[in-house]
Amino acid sequence: MSLAIELSSVSFAYRAGHHVLEGVDLRIGEGAFVAIAGPNGGGKTTLVRIILGLERPSEGTASLYGEPAHRFSRRRTLGYLAQRSELGGDAPATVREVVSAGRLAAGGLLGPLRRRDRELVTEAIERVGLGDFADTPVQTLSGGMQQRAFIAKALAGEPSILVLDEPTTGVDAESQESLASLLARLHSELGATILYVSHEFGAVEQFVERLVLVRRTIVFDGPPQALPGVWHDPSHAHA
Amino acid sequence: MLELEFMRLALGAGAVVGVLAPAVGFFLVQRRQSLVGDGIGHVAFAGVAAGILLDVSPIVTALVAAVLGGVAIEFLRSKGGTAGDQALALVFYTGIAAGVVLISAAGALNVDLFQYLFGSILTVTRTDLVVIASLGTVGLAIVGLLYRPLAGVVVDEEGARVAGVPIGALNVTVAALAAVTVALSMRVVGILLVAALMVLPVSAAGRIAWSMRSAFLLSIAVGLVSVLTGLTVSYYADLPPGGTIVLVAAAVFGVALAAGALRRR
Ligand SMILES: Nc1ncnc2c1ncn2[C@@H]1O[C@H](COP(=O)(O)OP(=O)(O)O)[C@@H](O)[C@H]1O
Ligand SMILES: [Mg+2]
């Protein structure tokens, strides 16, 4: 299995002297489905932003397929659902309009979308089960359905690496379960490398092969079953 | 009214601006940068003053100043944070202060200035109309060509950035378009009210639209109708055109707000 993501001795500080990440080593093979968990403020978002090349490590190196992450040449193969993604602006963008935005990089910037791109958009909408809501403004949908629309947007770009940062914030437990199983299905169907970030990993735990716990550095990395019982204690996780 | 040449020219220039201002303003409003149009207006004011002082066409100097100001504002904004916010204020106030100083140096704190601040659509010449129509058409063509990436960035800027969409270039383009719009709209509604024409129709459309594309097209429709109605009303009621146009747009916003609220019940 070839290496998709590699972080070597990565440290990061937003302000000099205040490290939010220190000595992070992480190697993720192509096609893996990894959960990244840890307490709020533990550095999960910072970690994935470094992986995606949005931030550069203060020390150490971050690479994607062997290239420096911030100068990665095949950006269009990266899909990112940022934490607390909500629609910018107040125009009532429909599910189809949101998902079409995911075809921007891959489908070319100028003029209207070509037919093949429109097909991929429809396909992505159907994959996440929003076929009946394609022309509904996303603001009028439930939190879970909105998140599925954004996941479809990321899928429409046919990413080889898909990063979802807390995609279940503000989503009820039942939708969390169905989102997690949706991702598991997409993972097996599409073979993309998926990083699923969450501060509570209950819902996704049963689907991932690997769990990475981040708290300034990586404090656990392995199959969820191997996680020491003490980490399951919420009071500990949020300490 | 249409038998009068100056009214035909006014309606022509008004129509171009009525379409262009909301088309460009749409993307500013959606990205919660409604005040950028205002900021560019402040800088354009300094440009007008420089033009009067140097005795060159104030429209040309305003255009140059507006584009420089727009790009500067976008640059400062992209740095982000509270410092960016204060940097914007710096550009706003420097623009208006430089304008005041330049204009008094030119000894022109008078009617001339008034025309640029509050509009003077009834003095639009044929040459003006040609300039407004051709620059306006170019601006609209660029918006049309870039509609999809601009809308995509509204939907999810971070996602687009990660996927390699050239966000910076798009943002600078919007800033430059906004600057051209401000310079062209100056004659129609005046510097003080340009931003209103970029914002009010978009807010109105947002209340009643059913998709982003419909919101975009409705914004343009509201802008066009407001300008033409406002001009007509001002002609028959002998009111100042710029102010009347903006009041019509505000009234449409009120109606759209009520209609949207009713529909949602
Ligand atoms: N843009 C930023 N500027 C300064 N500090 C930040 C910024 N983003 C996050 N932080 C800080 O970095 C730490 C890690 O944050 P984050 O990566 O968001 O953690 P998590 O995603 O695990 O909640 C926190 O202490 C947070 O306050
Ligand atoms: Mg986070």
CB distance B66 to B44 below 8 Å: yes
Tens digit of each residue's pLDDT (9 = 90 or more) over B226-253? 999 999 999 999 999 999 999 999 999 9
What average pLDDT does this structure show over A34-51?
94
- What is the Cα–Cα distance from B169 to B265, expressed in whole angstroms? 42
Ligand 1 pocket residue status of A198, Cβ below 6 Å = no
Nearest by CB: B154 against A88, A150, A154: A88
Given a cut of 70, is residue A238 above it in pLDDT? no
* Chain B: closest CA distance from residue A118 (Å): 13
At A230 the pLDDT is 58
Confidence grade of residue A234 (pLDDT, cut at 50, 70, 90): low
Cβ within 8 Å of B, A 71-100: 75-76, 78-82, 85, 87-94, 97-98, 100
* Chain B: closest CA distance from residue A231 (Å): 32
- What is the Cα–Cα distance from A164 to A48, expressed in whole angstroms? 9
Size of interface A-B (CB pairs under 8 A): 115
Indicate whether B104 belongs to any domain.
Answer: yes
- What is the Cα–Cα distance from B151 to A184, expressed in whole angstroms? 30
Given a cut of 80, is residue A202 above it in pLDDT? no
CB distance B160 to B43 below 8 Å: no
Residues 6+ apart with CB under 8 A from A102: A79, A121, A124, A152, A153, A154, A155, A156, A157, B159
Interface contact flag, B212 A150, Cβ < 8 Å:
no
What is the share, in percent, of chain A residues with pLDDT greater than 90?
57
Domain range for B106 is: 5-193
Indicate whether B219 belongs to any domain.
Answer: no
Of B206, B261, B247, the closest CA to residue B26 belongs to B206
Strand order in the sheet with A67-68: A18-29, A3-15, A59-64, A67-68
Instruction: Show residues of chain A in contact with B151, CB under 8 Å.
Output: 93, 97, 101
Across chain B, what does the average pLDDT equal? 89
Residues 6+ apart with CB under 8 A from B188: B13, B14, B17, B119, B121, B197, B227, B241, B242, B245
Nearest CA to ligand 1 atom 7: A14
CB distance A123 to A161 below 8 Å: no
At B264 the pLDDT is 72
Residues 6+ apart with CB under 8 A from B249: B196, B197, B200, B201, B204, B222, B223, B226, B230
Tokens coding A157: 């770009």
Confidence grade of residue A168 (pLDDT, cut at 50, 70, 90): confident
Interface contact flag, B156 A54, Cβ < 8 Å:
no
Residues present in chain A in total: 239
Ligand 1 pocket test: pick from A18, A40, A45 the residue with the most ligand atoms within 8 Å of its Cβ.
A45
Instruction: Show residues of chain A in contact with B154, CB under 8 Å.
Output: 88-89, 91, 93
What average pLDDT does this structure show over B112-121?
81
CB distance A52 to A163 below 8 Å: yes
Interface contact flag, B163 A75, Cβ < 8 Å:
yes
Nearest CA to ligand 1 atom 26: A41
Residues 6+ apart with CB under 8 A from A196: A33, A34, A35, A36, A164, A167, A180, A183, A204, A208
* Chain A: closest CA distance from residue B77 (Å): 16
Residue of A nearest to B204 (CA): A91
CA atoms within 13 A on the CB side of B181: 36
Strands A59-64 and A217-222: unpaired
- What is the Cα–Cα distance from A31 to B66, expressed in whole angstroms? 50
More confident residue, A49 or B40: A49
Indicate whether B208 belongs to any domain.
Answer: no
Residue B143: give its domain's CATH number: 1.10.3470.10
Given a cut of 50, is residue B170 above it in pLDDT? yes
Best of A95, A109, A150 to disrupt the B interface (most B CBs within 10 Å) is A109
Across chain A, what does the average pLDDT equal? 87
How remote is the CA of residue B35 from the centroid of ligand 1, in Å? 29
Q: How many CB atoms are located within 10 Å of the residue B35 CB?
A: 15
Indicate whether B206 belongs to any domain.
Answer: no
Provide the number of structural domains found in chain B.
1
Q: How many CB atoms are located within 10 Å of the residue B173 CB?
A: 19
Indicate whether B177 belongs to any domain.
Answer: yes
CB distance A94 to A137 below 8 Å: yes
Confidence grade of residue B73 (pLDDT, cut at 50, 70, 90): confident
Ligand 1 pocket residue status of A85, Cβ below 6 Å = no
Of A31, A30, A34, A32, the closest CA to residue A44 belongs to A34
At A235 the pLDDT is 47
At A144 the pLDDT is 84
At B80 the pLDDT is 66
Of B29, B144, B214, B33, the closest CA to residue A93 belongs to B214
Question: Which residue has 């620059």 as its token pair?
Answer: B135
CA atoms within 13 A on the CB side of A157: 32
Tens digit of each residue's pLDDT (9 = 90 or more) over A133-149? 999 999 999 888 888 89
Question: Which residue has 């204060």 as its token pair?
Answer: B86
Question: Which residue has 């009068």 as its token pair?
Answer: B4
Concatenated DSSP letters of B188-235: HH-GGGHHHHHHHHHHHHHHH-SSHHHHHHHHHHHHHHHHHHHHHHHH
- What is the Cα–Cα distance from A94 to B213, expressed in whole angstroms? 9
Residue of B nearest to A159 (CA): B163
Indicate whether B234 belongs to any domain.
Answer: no
End-to-end CA distance of chain B: 42
CB distance B48 to B61 below 8 Å: yes
Indicate whether B211 belongs to any domain.
Answer: no
Tens digit of each residue's pLDDT (9 = 90 or more) over B181-231? 998 888 888 888 888 999 999 999 999 999 999 999 999 999 999 999 999
Tokens coding B201: 């129709």
Whether A149 has its CB under 8 Å from any CB of chain B: the answer is: no
Least confident of A67-71, A185-189, B249-253: A185-189
Instruction: Show residues of chain A in contact with B206, CB under 8 Å.
Output: 90-92
Interface contact flag, A89 B149, Cβ < 8 Å:
no
Q: Which residues pair with A217 in a beta bridge?
A: A215
Indicate whether B225 belongs to any domain.
Answer: no
At A88 the pLDDT is 60
> Would you give the DSSP letter of residue A52?
T
Tokens coding B125: 């010449």
Amino acid at A28: I
At A86 the pLDDT is 67
Tens digit of each residue's pLDDT (9 = 90 or more) over B94-110? 888 998 898 888 776 66
At B185, phi and psi to the nearest 5? -80, -15
Is A27 strand, coil or helix? strand
Q: Which helix (H) or strand (E) holds A165?
A: strand A161-165
∠ CA A147-A150-A154, nearest 5°, is 135
ipTM: 0.87
CB distance A51 to A5 below 8 Å: yes
Instruction: Show residues of chain A in contact with B158, CB under 8 Å.
Output: 54, 80, 82, 85
